[in-house]
Amino acid sequence: MSTSVANERLAKRFDKWDTDGNGVLDAGDFESEAERIAQNLGKNADSPEVQELNNAFRGLYEYLAQKAGVEAGGAISRQQFLDATGDMLFKEGEASFNRALSPIVKALIRLCDDDHDGQINAREFQAWLSAVGVPVSQAGESFQKVDKNDDGQLSEDELLQVVREFHFGQLEVELLG
Ligand SMILES: [Ca+2]
Ligand SMILES: [Ca+2]
Ligand SMILES: [Ca+2]
């Protein structure tokens, strides 16, 4: 694994989630990110799947705040974020990473899964990428990399695994914008 690429990606992740650009992460940043994704998909803010996404982002904020030793409702500094997420990736490993991000991946699947089969097909994947703000030009190539078992569908496990590999610096497929 490449630690410098991984650290660079965590720094980029911080910038992306610091939606108001004030240099710290607080609950409002994560609310705005969830709102932005819902808007990109044209989903009603009151719909259950948008509520699920909001809850997932709130849960992620609370998990990170707790890891960073920040009091409930407090702001997470850039350094605290890098330390907490770096620990998750390089010390605590898969379980901790999954605990932080699987609710987000689950909620995104629910939001994009138009045919309600619990998986993401090629067409739904385009919606996913636009929702998180990734250019869809690479959608075909990315889809094949995520679809590890080559069955034409992206499962929750496949998506979560690629988010993790991206953050380890192992794979060039960005799934969370
Ligand atoms: Ca902020
Ligand atoms: Ca589907
Ligand atoms: Ca698959």
Decide if pLDDT at 138 tops 90.
Answer: no
In a domain, 134, yes or no: no
Q: What is the pLDDT of residue 165?
A: 93
Residue 36 lies in a domain: yes
Return the H-helix or E-strand segment holding 76.
strand 76-77
Ligand that lies nearest to the alpha carbon of residue 26, given by its number in the listed order = 1
Other CB atoms within 10 A of residue 81 CB: 23
Task: Please give the tally of structural domains in the chain.
Answer: 1
Q: What is the CATH number of the domain that holds 63?
A: 1.10.238.10
Q: Is the pLDDT of residue 112 over 90?
A: yes
- For residue 14, the enclosing domain spans 3-114+160-167
Residue range 26-46, pLDDT digits in tens:
999 999 999 999 999 999 999
* Ligand of minimum distance to the alpha carbon of 152: 3
Q: Write down the mean pLDDT value for the chain.
A: 94
Instruction: Express each pLDDT in 41-79 by its tens digit.
Output: 999 999 999 999 999 999 999 999 999 999 989 999 999
Number of Cβ within 10 Å of residue 80's Cβ equals: 20
Q: Distance between CA 113 and CA 120 in Å, rounded? A: 6
Closest CA to 40 of 26, 50, 48, 29: 50
Ligand 1 (ion): residues with CB under 5 Å are 18, 20, 22, 29
Is pLDDT of 171 > 70?
yes
- Model pLDDT, residue 32: 96
Ligand 2 centroid from CA 116, angstroms: 5
Residue 78 in tokens: 């850039």
User: What is the 149 CA–ligand 2 centroid distance (Å)?
Assistant: 16
Give a yes or no: residue 143 inside a domain. no
Ligand 2 center to 31 CA (angstroms): 25
> What 3 state SS string does 23-35 have?
CEECHHHHHHHHH
Q: 124 and 113 in contact (C-beta within 8 Å)?
A: yes
State in Å: Cα 141 to ligand 3 middle. 14
Whole-number pLDDT of residue 61: 96
- Closest ligand relative to 27 C-alpha: 1
Helix, coil or strand: residue 92: helix
Contacts of 123 (CB under 8 A, 6+ apart): 114
